[in-house]
Amino acid sequence: MPMQRTGLVWHVGLAVSLLLVCALPATCTSLHDAFDSRKAYAYTSEIAAFGERWPGSPGHKKAENLIRQVLQKDGGQVEADDFIAHTPRGQVPVHNIVGKFNIDGSNGQDIFVLAGHYDTLFKPGFIGANDGASSAGILLAFADVFARQKTRMQIWLVWTDLEEAIEAFKGEDGLYGSRHLAHKLAANGQASRIRGLFLLDMIGDKNLNVARESHSSAALQSVIAQAAAVLGYDQFFSITTRISLMTTFRLSRSVYRLWM
């Protein structure tokens, strides 16, 4: 994953930072300035170097440990969403990780979610620098930011697990982690407090092109388009009448109906 092939991807992170500055006025403009693209790339490289990260593999455990270590270092409230998934391969332990920042102690505080997954395909030799490592890495870079930045909303950084299908994305195969977490938040009443969610999945593409995602909120798509234009990053987005930050359908199918 050479630097020159992926340097453009972190403009997405800067655009999201500016968007959160606009949505969360307590931060003024320092949130965008605090985002470090070099850290995002370094985290992505570190995670990709762990190798295959399907649940139960040594690389998966290393990625899980790194996420927890960074969240603890940055002072985030770490919550686990652990369960056993029933898959075509049998029972598979799943470990979603949620890092919460800027909790004011009230029961009604609004929440904004940045999400991605850290697992890879059940495929020998599949490293997933783009598909898994890039989303996990950029979320870790955001954790470093929110260690120092105050926001009006709670910020949840969500790393979902076992998003990849065991055999194929048919029926209930795939999206195990996000589906479980979405139903859990709907059941405990927290879903109604979530004001928005951006999925940062597969953003390490060599030729980054963030396209319109038809299942998403038009209002949120407009906001991210405006942020990209202000920063001069609109060439990395397919801007016609509307655009989206979501480059795949992962997580959005499961959570949009419950969280938005």
d(CA 231, CA 14): 8
d(CA 122, CA 42): 24
d(CA 115, CA 166): 21
Residue ranges per structural domain of the chain? 3-204+255-259
The verdict on whether 213 is a catalytic residue reads no
Which CATH entry fits the domain spanning 3-204+255-259: 3.40.50.10490, 3.40.50.620, 3.40.630.10, 1.10.10.10?
A: 3.40.630.10
Q: Which of 21, 73, 84 is nearest to 43 (CA)?
A: 73
CB 34 within 8 A of CB 149: yes
Residue 260 confidence (pLDDT): 31
User: What averages of pLDDT result for each successive group of 10 residues across the chain (260 residues)?
Assistant: 39 54 47 86 97 97 98 97 96 98 90 96 94 96 93 95 94 95 95 92 85 78 79 73 35 32
Residue 19 confidence (pLDDT): 53
CB 194 within 8 A of CB 185: yes
Alpha carbon dihedral 122, 215, 134, 226, in 10-degree steps, equals 170
Residue 159 confidence (pLDDT): 98
Residue 231 confidence (pLDDT): 80
CA angle 205, 129, 210 (to 5 degrees): 25
Residue 100 confidence (pLDDT): 98
Residue 244 confidence (pLDDT): 37
The verdict on whether 79 is a catalytic residue reads no
Strands annotated E in 118-213: 154-160, 194-199
In the set 163, 164, 213, 234, the catalytic residue is: 163
In the set 164, 201, 205, 213, the catalytic residue is: 201
